[in-house]
Amino acid sequence: MTALMVNLSGLMLMAGIVWWFWLYRPAPAVQPDTGAVQIIVENGVYTPDRISIPANQPTTLRFLRKDRSSCAATVIFDNLDISAELPFDEFKEIIITPTTPGHYTFGCQMRMYRGTLDVSAR
């Protein structure tokens, strides 16, 4: 019995290693070409959760909240002085024009939802 458990945990470890080194690829940052990005708020994740946008140009973030929990209803952009309420199952557009390139995190109040804006100078 113990030997079986050891074999099982060994198999799971190998599966984990295969997953990590061969199968896992981080999602690429999304580049809007229309000046608008749609972000779905569901199951504890923003999709996409990493967004590349240009500095000094207005970008529309179009949120659609599919999560009924009240915590998901607020999105806060750190260091950009932006926060907004997201109505359930309705599009909410937030237009941002960041002036300083860098990485800006955003999330819900309790930080269950997290995302990053990569602002680049172009």
Q: Is the dihedral of CA 57, 42, 75, 111 positive or negative?
A: negative
User: Are the C-beta atoms of residues 101 and 55 closer than 8 Å to each other?
Assistant: yes
The label of the residue with tokens 């199952």 reads 89
Residue with tokens 């309420």: 85
Question: Closest CB to Cu ion among 53 and 65?
Answer: 65
Minimum distance from residue 88 beta carbon to Cu ion (Å): 14
Count of all residues that appear for the chain in the document: 122
Q: From the CB of 75, what's the least distance to Cu ion, in Å?
A: 10
Minimum CB separation of residue 76 from Cu ion in Å reads 10
Q: Which is nearer to Cu ion, 65 or 98 (CB)?
A: 65
The residues binding Cu ion (CB under 5 A) are 71, 108, 110, 112
Residue number, 6 or 110, with CB nearest to Cu ion: 110
CA dist 52 and 66 (Å) reads 23
Query: Is 62 in a helix, a strand, or coil?
Result: strand
Contact 98, 119 (CB under 8 A): yes
Considering the complex, state which of residue 67 and residue 117 has its C-beta at the smaller distance from Cu ion: 67
**Shortest distance, CB of residue 77 to Cu ion, whole angstroms?**
15
